[in-house]
Structure 1
Amino acid sequence: MCEKISKVNSWLSEVFGDQPVPHFEVNTRTVDILFQLAQSSEARCRDTALLSEDLKQKASEYQAEGAHIRDVLLQGVGLSCSSISKPASDYLSALVDNAMVLGVRDTSLGSFMPAVNNLTNELLEEEKSNRRLERELRALRKRLGTTLVLRSNLQEDVNKAIKCQSVESVKAEERMLNMDFVRAKAKELSSRRERAEAQLVSRNMNKSLTHQAIVQLSEEATALKQEIIPLKNKLKPYMDLSPSPSLAQVKIEEAKRELAAIDSQLQMNIDLE
């Protein structure tokens, strides 16, 4: 535990430098966490140092290789920066720029071809991705057009529904007003009927003069008229015969009496109507 604390204190002193180390609670958990951070930081520093040394070594190798190539060109071929024409210098500069853009180690064909192939593959993948995205974009545009049409139709339906709702609201209000009028009229008629019934009761009106009684008497008179028709049909055959005067007279007198009774009853019913 003491070893961890001393290592953590040493690491914190290196991290904060001249600034004071912030106060923290010293317990097993915080010490373990800080100790792990210190180890990770030291490991990362070692990796960074190794990478820096490797880069320095590669830079020195590149410089040595460049010096060797410059000596070869100057001594073996007789080329120098002053002896190279401007177009050749421009070509070399472009070659170097391309090499730096491609990220190759040198400008040999063996280095350029894989880099160019990789870029070509990436370009093909990007073109493939672009075609896929264009298909998706066309599909989205088609869906968007359909959605806009549906939205327009829905908006029209909503407007129609709002208009119909306003019309129905006006009609409902009119119905309510008519209903109130009908209720008030029905109440008024009921009150008038009650007053009329009270007046009829106060005047001792005969029930036989009511509409219902008159209708019933009319129905009875119609029934009696229907009963007279068979009796007349019975008398009709005797009207053409020449019966014996006494028997015929008796039958005639009986028929006359029945006919007179029926006529009297019919006349009474008509007078009551």
Structure 2
Amino acid sequence: MSDTVSGAVNTPVTDAAKSGGSDAARIAEVKAWLVSQFEAAGKEVPDFEYTPLSVGHLYNLATVSQAKTQAANIIAADFRQKAAEYRSQAARIKEILENMGLAQESLTSNVVSSAHVLANVANLLNIRDTELSSFLVAMGDISLRKTAVEEKRAKVEKESKILLDYTRKAIARLTYLKSIHKQLEDDVAPCQKQMEDWKTSLAVMGSKERQYLQQYNNYKALLNRVGYTREISHGVLVEMAEYRKELEKKTKPILDTLRSYQDLPPDKALAALAIEGKKRQYAAAEKYLEEVLHSALATND
């Protein structure tokens, strides 16, 4: 009954359930169907209210159940007829084999085993007879299916190898990335310490820069106050010092001579002449020094 219920649930209400027959006739038919079904199950029909909705569903269910029961009876009768035909054919074949001396009782165990193997192979190959052509067709079909399966297997193996290669590469890359990540994590603390040191150094350098800029401005203001110009450079001063040394070398003999005159007895006329001569020499040396300084300054300009 469960089969009929499940089959009726998915079946739409028929035209007979909608409009065929009167309500009383349908209720009587439903009751008769329920009684037959519950008696077949060994139970009594439970009491319930026969409403138009329930009667319509039960009438539809009864219609579908009766149709399926009729179809099942037809199929069962067909199976019984085929079974009778198969039994009759088996009896006829057995009689023929007995007349030919090929009955199963007279056959050896090897022949019986071979026959059973042949029958099993025929059932396995899903063929209806044991003709050689049927076996060849079935074997050909199996060969084709085997070839198709082998092709699919080769394709799947190829794809599996490609996927395995991709997987190995992905694992290698993942391992490499993990090692890099571990190395970066290990380098975080030293890098942070180094960054802190750099920040401290930058702060110190910034302070020194401001200090040096202040000193530079102070020195610049001082040079402006004393009248420093670009013509008074280190090179010019060095060159003038060298000229001074050369002049000292030239004037030293003259000074030594003048000092020697201090030891002479006083003679006003000679002393005056000597002094005038030394004055001229000294004036010539000063003039030479001025010319050298002017030439040095002109060269630097």
TM category (shorter chain) comes to 0.5 to 0.7
Cα distance, 1:33–1:170 mapped onto 2, change above 3 Å: farther
Q: Percent identity?
A: 17
CA distance in 1, matches of 2:76, 2:69: 10
Shift of 1:48: 2.0
Cα distance, 1:163–1:102 mapped onto 2, change above 3 Å: closer
CA distance in 1, matches of 2:203, 2:48: 89
Shift of 1:117: 1.0
* CA deviation string 1:233-258 (max 9, x = no partner): xxxxxxxxxxxxxxxx9xx89x97xx
Shift of 1:160: 1.2
Letter in 2 for 1:91: S
Unaligned runs of 5+ in 2: 1-17, 241-279, 294-301
Letter in 2 for 1:92: A
Shift of 1:156: 0.2
**Aligned residue in 1 for 2:141:** 121
**Aligned residue in 2 for 1:46:** 70
TM-score by length of 1: 0.57
Letter in 1 for 2:221: A
Matched, 1:211 2:219: yes
**Aligned residue in 1 for 2:115:** 92
TM-score by length of 2: 0.52
In structure 2, the residue corresponding to 1:222 is in which secondary structure?
Answer: coil
CA distance in 2, matches of 1:100, 1:160: 64
Whose RCO is larger (CA < 8 A, sep 6+)? 2
Shift of 1:159: 2.0
Alignment of 1:17-96 (within 5 A): 17=41, 18=43, 26=51, 28=53, 34-74=58-98, 76-96=99-119
Letter in 1 for 2:83: A
Cα distance, 1:149–1:31 mapped onto 2, change above 3 Å: farther
Cα distance, 1:103–1:38 mapped onto 2, change above 3 Å: farther
In structure 2, the residue corresponding to 1:39 is in which secondary structure?
Answer: helix
CA distance in 2, matches of 1:35, 1:179: 94
Shift of 1:20: 5.4
**Aligned residue in 1 for 2:247:** none
**Aligned residue among 232, 256, 264 for 1:222:** 232
CA RMSD of aligned residues (A): 4.7
Alignment of 1:98-117 (within 5 A): 98-107=121-130, 109=131, 113-114=133-134, 116-117=136-137
Matched, 1:134 2:158: no
Cα distance, 1:77–1:96 mapped onto 2, change above 3 Å: same
Cα distance, 1:144–1:66 mapped onto 2, change above 3 Å: same
Letter in 1 for 2:141: N
**Contact persistence 1:12–1:21 (CA under 8 A):** no
CA distance in 1, matches of 2:187, 2:47: 77
Cα distance, 1:104–1:45 mapped onto 2, change above 3 Å: farther
**Contact persistence 2:34–2:45 (CA under 8 A):** no
The number of residues matched between the two structures is: 217
Cα distance, 1:170–1:125 mapped onto 2, change above 3 Å: same
CA distance in 2, matches of 1:14, 1:5: 14
**Aligned residue among 141, 144, 163 for 1:143:** 163
Shift of 1:34: 5.0
**Aligned residue in 1 for 2:183:** 163
Unaligned runs of 5+ in 1: 198-209, 230-248, 263-273
